[in-house]
Structure 1
């Protein structure tokens, strides 16, 4: 939609004129006042809001204009990792020692060592601990620290935003949403409370597949629904958008990162009036305890590569600043 693209570009270009407290929602609203046609105004508002919320995994009213436009995005299109992120994780973990079913409950520092205690009774001692749990886990207070984290660190955990982003994926026997005249790459359903935004991901999956991208307020609403209700609501949404769904999915899957105790959400964002200084504060070591993860990356928070690079940063810190290279071979 050309008008939406023009407005989005204008919003980004004018961001520096706005105060740190002003939000994307306020900026969209001010720009929409210039569109006299009510139906067009509502549609543009829906498309813009859905797009911004999908990027940041939170409500447009919780997105600072300046912080959004400061995102260090890369040029070019998107790609998918062959066989998914698990393939990359398996390679990184190759040769390492992983203790399964060992949920960390406490980290205790002394002048000479640091100890990690797990809920199953497992205990590890070492010279340092590198903690890379998601910001949502830190916000939930799932891990006890002794001594307690500094006030600066606790303020950073509290002030930074941690959004919600879920996917519901349907695989079908055929791509009924496509026609000879309409080879769509996605579906937008204005006004739907949970499933307004669908993408055709058939190319990466190898089968006719639609994925609902559910972010911000909609993702929080989805997290409260059981599987049967979520399935029926998603099918109803597609039926209304496509004039009926001729068949049930051959397979389907949903995520629920919001309620997962090991994530408690999606990824980090900067709310209005919150600066990158909070991310810097979160990244700083406290004694023998070091911090990594996307929430500690001032340049790439919210991105996988931000988490990856933060691990290299802390490895350099542990090795006295020497270059660190991770070699991955299948």
Structure 2
């Protein structure tokens, strides 16, 4: 089975980072007729008839030029403007989560470019002043660095590692093997997903899996194995997927981050997903990939 989280990362562009400070090269590529630009207003993009609106550099507004990289012989850019551009033009502008439905079919190839562009846009939006002295920041390196005009310190984009895990109990592959899913109190009835959380300073990824599951569901996890990862700039995360084996099975939820956690056998998961009483994550999420990997086949329904 090919999992959706792999598709979102499968066609990565060449980021050509060695050219980010080469002004002559950047100017030449900006003037190239093959170059394409994604316009980002604040942290939002406006799809056109369900497609991502790549435009020629001549048609892009003023803003911070961000070099994304090369793909298929063409240089791809983003131009980050202020949020006023979205309010001054017709049509709906969406943040990344709202754009995910457009990243399907042939356009799934654009996902790494879009994640790159909006990840940097979120960083530019949130990083307004130097965290050391409060000075003014100016973009450099084709939008990938911010330098303080007061103390000279350079800021770089950050990525927060987040673990997301499918925890199972019982004999692997047996009819009574179960997996653990939880639900947030903000979600509609029936919606469940894998547990997840952020890695803390000085903590290994495997220990983050064990800690988060223990904190949220009271389950002790033993063996933890790596599954895969997915860029998830919402606003600046990298989702690292794991499979874990439960040592205990008595659920004791924290009532803070989740309101319910349950064990599901494959038969229960199939029957409830079919009748709609269990609503699983969408196909674009690594959570869905984890669930279907454990289940062993595609499942009906999604958020």
**Greater fraction helix:** 1
**TM-score, with structure 2 as normaliser:** 0.23
- The structure showing larger relative contact order (alpha-carbon pairs under 8 Å, at least 6 residues apart) is 1
